[in-house]
Amino acid sequence: MSRIKVSFQPMDETVQADEGERVLDIASRAGIDISNLCGGEGVCGRCRVQVRRGAVNFSTKHLAFLDKKDLEEGYVLACQSRVRGEDVEVRVPSESVIEEEQVLTFDRILAFETPTPLPRRAAPPKIPYFQPLCRKMYLELPQPTLSDSLSDLDRIYRAIQKRMPGVHPDIHYTCLRGLGELIRENDWKITASVHLRDRDRPRIRAVEGGNTSSRNFGVAVDVGTTTIVAKLVDLKTGKIAAVKASHNSQARYGEDVISRMMFACKRGGLDTLVDAVGTTINSLVDAMVARAKISHQDITCFVAAGNTTMTHLLLGLSPCSIRVEPYVPTADHFPQLPAAEVGLRGHPRAVLHCLPCVSSYVGGDITAGVLACGMNDSPHMSALIDVGTNGEIVVGNSEWLVCCSASAGPAFEGGGTKCGMRAARGAVEKVRIQGDRVTFQTVEGEKPVGICGSGLIDLIAELFAEEIIDRSGKFLDLDHPRVQVTDETAEFVVADASLTGTGKPVVVTEDDIANLIKSKGAILAAMKVVLDSTGMTFQDLDNLFVAGGFGAHLDIEKAVMIGLLPDIPRDRIHFIGNGSLAGARLALLSSHAFHKAEAIARQMTYFELSVRPEFMNEFVAALFLPHTQLDLFPSVRESPARRKARGQGDGPYE
């Protein structure tokens, strides 16, 4: 089989390839992550590249995403194109590259008393029941005598029981090898790494000579589908030593959990995905270790929180049964295991703990969010919402918890939208309209190249408030200078071609608006079904916690205006930042909190919306701005008129 040179521009990367290889796979080997929301199935159109020299074989699937001009200029879909027996030069346009997006590293652990507004920059409260999952105990053992002839191991057990009365420690058998020599060489002064997940039977995982108790660190990890965030925590003091975040390198094999499940199950890619997530976490660990000036040997414990699929892929478990009816995971509670078994770098005997999941589509990240916001410890009625491709919702208090997952689609993450993108450099994230004037703000202040989820919500709320679209999302004012019709579809020009970084206008079409309305409708309908099933309304909520990176960039008023969030007093709505990371950190620092997370997962009752006919009725009712029942949104009912009277919308974003 002949070898072919494939050159990627403007990256100036050239790699060898075999005839018949996909351009997408070749780019991945070259370290170039080309966007492919569908996992290379040819149904998202995100992996457009231009063949500038040579030729490729391609599938007719790409014809649905490329117009005549694109074809004439040599554009193809990378996932549907295979190299022939000749060298090829491929240009990867900026909009086809997976950019590093804004990653939320902020987390907040809430102490719960009365429902009050959260200060914007409140100091994080102290961790209750501070007892890290791994504790290093410095022990000065009495030397044996004829009258005190306990074995070396029992001598260690006795010393630990003096510190922790009532417990019955045991030891990992590998620690026994060379134990006698180690103790005697260090004059009976040792440090035992004691893991406390089982509080009644703590386990010694490592024994070191001398006093190393001051060098005990743990890593809390939010294993997100798109991004991975890690915090290095000093387990002796509870202080954060370093924080790092990165794009999840699994994204090159599909940008959502469904496409990754298909890659794992249909293409035999499970090991590849496991290696990708491990590599990403290790890169973060390496950077944090360097920043904190410690060694990998000092890391004794990892706690990870992620959705059910991501947890399976971290642990090397098959996710195949998750995506097919009746949607059953391999496991939802996970035993502790040596971190090295899944390739994580730390102490050779460091332990990995994963927070428990509830169902196939309500994972450990949601359990972590409930733990972090404290709703399970409060008598007040609360809801937690985490908006993404799936919208996970939990409602309840200290007596009961009910949860569900609604398939919201990719609109909130820029998918299924003509100029949509994640919140990466150049994404329009805020929009304001006043008459003919449009102002916007982009991520990092770069020239606009697309629009992300928060920008779409802003824009739709502004279009509705300015009466440019009606309640169904259809354009009313076709004479507005920013409204144009392309291929018989009306669209709004957010930024014309002269202002963008691609030389093409950033637009939002009527179809894009319809897609986002469906997404927000699914979230609101799910919340309403859960509340109705428990005999409550939106007004019965004392608190609404919004978690995740997307939530952190939401404009509350605009989210309410389009019907994504319920119309409740605004001081009841709280952004808690990265709830998954906050819960993982809390569990790392408190074995009590880890057991509470396990209790939370067992306590939650899961509602499967697909078998509830009332969900479809509520979904249809929510396909309007903000809803068919305007009584549910009294503050929005007269919003356009009130907006004009107040002059709301004056002034550009700075």
Question: Residue 25 is part of a domain; what is its CATH number?
Answer: 3.10.20.30
C-alpha to C-alpha distance for 545 and 4, rounded to whole angstroms: 54
590 part of a folded domain: yes
C-alpha to C-alpha distance for 24 and 47, rounded to whole angstroms: 8
pLDDT tens digits, 594-624: 999 999 999 999 999 988 999 999 999 999 9
**At which of 180, 209, 238 does a domain end?**
209
205 & 225 share domain: no
114 part of a folded domain: no
- Spell out the residues 6+ positions from residue 651 whose beta carbon is closer than 8 angstroms to its own: 432, 439
115 part of a folded domain: no
222 & 205 share domain: no
Structurally, how many domains does the chain consist of? 4
Q: Does residue 384 contact residue 579 with C-beta atoms inside 8 Å?
A: yes
170 & 289 share domain: no
Sheet holding 189-195, edge to edge: 134-140, 189-195, 203-209, 170-171
Other C-beta atoms closer than 10 Å to the C-beta of 178 total 11
118 part of a folded domain: no
Q: What is the DSSP string of 197-223?
A: SSSSS-EEEEEEES--TT--EEEEEEE
* pLDDT given at position 113: 34
* pLDDT given at position 107: 64
365 part of a folded domain: no
161 & 72 share domain: no
C-alpha to C-alpha distance for 200 and 198, rounded to whole angstroms: 6
Please list the ranges in the chain whose pLDDT falls under 70. 1-2, 37, 39, 62, 99-128, 549-552, 638-654
pTM reported for the whole predicted model:
0.84
Q: What are phi and psi of 527, to 5 degrees?
A: -65, -40
Among 344, 343, 314, 347, residue whose Cα is nearest residue 204: 347
C-alpha to C-alpha distance for 107 and 104, rounded to whole angstroms: 8
168 & 224 share domain: no
DSSP 3-state assignment of 630?
helix
384 & 457 share domain: yes
77 & 155 share domain: no
Q: Whole domain around residue 79: which residue ranges?
A: 3-96
395 & 462 share domain: yes
Q: Does residue 471 contact residue 526 with C-beta atoms inside 8 Å?
A: no
Q: Does residue 209 contact residue 567 with C-beta atoms inside 8 Å?
A: no
Q: Does residue 36 contact residue 17 with C-beta atoms inside 8 Å?
A: no
* pLDDT given at position 114: 33
524 part of a folded domain: yes
